[in-house]
Structure 1
Amino acid sequence: MEVCRPLKTDDKLKHRPLNPYRFFRGMICLVVFLSTAFMLLAYLGPGAVLFRYLSIQYSRKATSFFFGLWLSMWPFLFEKINGTKVVFSGDDVPRKERILIIVNHRTEVDWMYLWDLAMRKGCLGYIKYILKSSLMKLPVLGWGFHVLEFISVDRKWETDETILHQMLSTFKNPRDPLWLALFPEGTDFTEEKCEKSKKFAAEVGLPVLTNVLLPKTRGFCLCLETLRGSFDAVYDLTIAYKRQCPFFLDNVFGVDPSEVHIHIQRIPINNIPTSDAEAAAWLTNRFKVKDELLSDFKSQGQFPDQKPEEQLSTLQSLLNFTVIIALTTIFTYLTFSYKLCMVYVSLACLYLAYITRCKIFPMPLEFLPFVKGKKDD
C-alpha cells in the first residue's frame, strides 16, 4: 500500500476526462469521506478501543459494524457513482470464512478493491491489512487503520517478526471473523522494480517473473504458522485493470479505472504445506501462476472463468450512506454546540494519535469477575 500520487489531468489514457463536473463531484466526495471518518473516529474510536479491556471479541463486532458502514461507501463510490465495472472470475467462495488473502500489488489502490469482494461476502468490517508503518502517520486515516487493527510493518524482518507474531496471535479466536490481506511483493509493481526482481531471481535460481515481483515469503509463512489452525482457506487473488493502473485520485475523481478484474482461487488450508520451506516454494509457485494469468489478461482482456457476482444493492448502499451522514451530522452538531463535546473531541484526537503512534492495543482486564476466563475473547 503506497501513498497516493498526484492525478495527471493531461493524461490522454484516462478512461474519462477530468471535466469540471467530475472535479467538483470528487472534491465533495473527498470532503464527505474525510469528515465522516473524522467524526466517527472521534466519537466512536476511543470507545471501541477501550471496550477491548472488557472483551476483544465484542469490541471487534462493534468496530466492524460501525466502521464497516463507513467502508461500504467506497464500493458505492467505485461502482455506483464512478461506474467502474468490477469483474470477478475463478472460484466461487462461500460467505464469512476465516481466510488469508494473498494479492498481487499493481498500484496503490489494489487494497481498496478488496472491499468490493468483502462487502459481497458480508466481511467488509473484518478485513485486516498488513501495511507499511509510514501509512499509520497519515492524519485521521492512520487512526482508522489502528482502530481497525491493520498491522503495520517497517519492512525490516528483524523488527517486523516480533510485531507480526504479537498482532497475529490476537486473531486466533475462531469466533472472530477474519479476512487477513497480505501483499507478498511488499511494494507496488513498477518496471524498474520488476527488472531488479528479475535480476535477483536469475541469480538465486527462482522463477523470472515479468508481471509481478518475486514474493517475500517470511511474512506469509509466519501468518500460516500462527493462524493455520483457525483459517478455513487461502484466497489467491489476482488483480488487473483495463487500459492502465489507477491511482487514488483517479478513483476520487472517477476518471479511472473503467474495469477492475479480480481472479479468485480458493485453496483449502489443509492443501498448503506445513513446513516453512515448502510453504515458501508454494507461494513462489502461486506468483508464477499469477504471472501467467496476467500475461493472458494482457492478450485477452479478461481472466478465465468469469463468474456473475451479485450486484451491490443501491438501496442498501444509500441506507448505509444515510446512517453515516446522520451520525456525522449529530456528532458535528454536538461538537460545535457544546463546549464539553469540543473538549471530548480534542481529547479523543490526542488519545487516538497517542495509541496509534505507540501501537497500543488494550487487552482484557482479567481481574474483573465478568472478564476472568475470557482471555481468548
Structure 2
Amino acid sequence: MTEASRLANSEVKASIPNSLTLPKVQFFSWFLIWKIPSLKLLKNIVSCDENWELDSASVVQLFSTTRNTRNREWIVLFPEVNIWTRSDADTQNTMWQKYYLPQLTNVLYPRFSGTINTLSALRSTAFTRLYDVTILYSRKTHDWDELDGPGMEGVFKPPSLLEILCSKPSTFKIHIHVKARLTSRLPVKRRRMEKWIEKTWFEKDILLETMKQESLAETQPLPLP
C-alpha cells in the first residue's frame, strides 16, 4: 500500500490537541478517486481490466481538484490490485518460473498504471511525500496444529472487520512498517518508475518475511481454557 500526502503550510503544535487537523483520506483505483465504495466503482471493477490506465488528459482532469487543494489530504493506492491468496501466489510464481524471474512469497506483483498515474499527476505539487506502508497481521491460537497452509499462513491470516471490532481480548497483533520518500526524488521516466516500483515490491516481500519471523519469535499460543 502506498500513500501520497499533502502537508499543510501551517505547523500543527502537538501540545495543543484542538489544533490538530485530520487529513482528508481518499482512494485512487479503477479510474476513480473515492472515499467510500460506490456502484460506479463496483461497475468499473467488474468491467475493467486489472491493468487499467488513464490517459494524460483524463489524469489531469481527475486530479485537478486534488492538485489545487489547500487542505491536508492523503491519496491511498493499492498497487497489487488483488488481495493476496495462496492460489494467486502459486499461479504467479509458476508463470514467473518459466521466465526465470524472481519468486515472490508474501506479495503479488504490482500493477504500475495506477501508481504512475498518481505520481505523474501530483508531481511538482504540494504532495511532497510518498509513504510506503507495509501491514502484517499475526494471530494467536489455541492449537498450532490447526494452522492451515505452508509457512503457518493461519497465523498471518488478516482478521475480519467483525474480529477487529468485537474480539476482546484481542487475539491478533497488527505490525506496521512505514517508509517515507520525497516525491521529488522518485524517477520521472516511465520505464525507470516501473523498475523502481518493482524493486520496492521485492524489498517489501523480504521485509514481510522478516516481520513474520520476528512475530513468530514473539507470539506464543494462548493457554487452553
Question: Structure 1: any 5+ residue segments left out of the alignment?
Answer: 2-94, 99-121, 303-377
Q: Provide Cα deviations, 1:175-207, integer angstroms capped at 9, x if missing partner.
A: 232211111000111101111222333445643
Q: Which residue of 1 aligns with 2:112?
A: 217
- For 1:333-344, list aligned pairs within 5 A: none
Superposition deviation, residue 124 in structure 1: 4.4
Residue 161 of structure 1 is matched in structure 2 by 54
Q: 1:123, 1:194 → 2: CA distance?
A: 40
TM-score under structure 2 length normalisation: 0.65
Tell me which of the two structures has the higher relative contact order, counting C-alpha pairs closer than 8 angstroms and 6 or more residues apart: 1
| Residue 97 (1) aligns with residue 11 (2) | no
- Distance in 2 (CA, whole Å) between partners of 1:238 and 1:159 is 24
Counterpart of 2:212 (choices 277, 281, 298) is 298
Residue number among 190, 193, 214 corresponding to 1:276 in the alignment:
190
Q: Which residue in 2 is equivalent to 1:81?
A: none
Alpha-carbon contact 2:6-2:72 (below 8 Å) kept: yes
How many corresponding residue pairs? Answer: 176
**Contact 1:246 1:257 (C-alpha < 8 Å) held by counterparts:** no
Amino acid at match of 1:250: E
Report the alpha carbon displacement of residue 169 of structure 1 after superposing the two structures with TM: 3.2
- Shift in alpha-carbon separation, 1:159–1:215, aligned structure 2, 3 A: closer
TM-score relative to the length of structure 1:
0.41
Distance 1:237 1:192, change over 3 A: same
Residue 106 of structure 2 aligns to a residue in which SS?
A: coil
Q: How does 1:46-85 map to 2 (within 5 A)?
A: none
SS of 1:291's equivalent in the other structure is helix
Unaligned runs of 5+ in 2: 9-19, 140-156, 217-225
Q: Aligned partners of 1:290, 1:275: CA distance in 2, in Å?
A: 22
Q: In the alignment, does 2:199 pair up with 1:285?
A: yes
SS at match of 2:124: helix
Contact 2:110 2:197 in 1 (8 A): yes
SS, match of residue 229 in structure 1: coil
Query: What residue in structure 1 maps to residue 128 of structure 2?
Result: 232
Which structure features the higher share of helix residues? 1
Q: Percent identity, please.
A: 25
Runs of 4+ in 1 over 6 A off after TM superposition: none
Q: Report how far residue 247 of structure 1 moved.
A: 1.6
Match of 1:192 among 70, 76, 87: 87
More strand by share: 2
**Pairwise CA distance, 1:289:** 0.9
Q: Is residue 151–residue 164 contact of structure 1 (8 Å, CA) maintained in 2?
A: no
- Secondary structure at the aligned position of 1:235 is classed as strand
What letter matches 1:238 in structure 2?
T
Q: CA deviation at 1:129?
A: 1.1
Bigger Rg, which one: 1
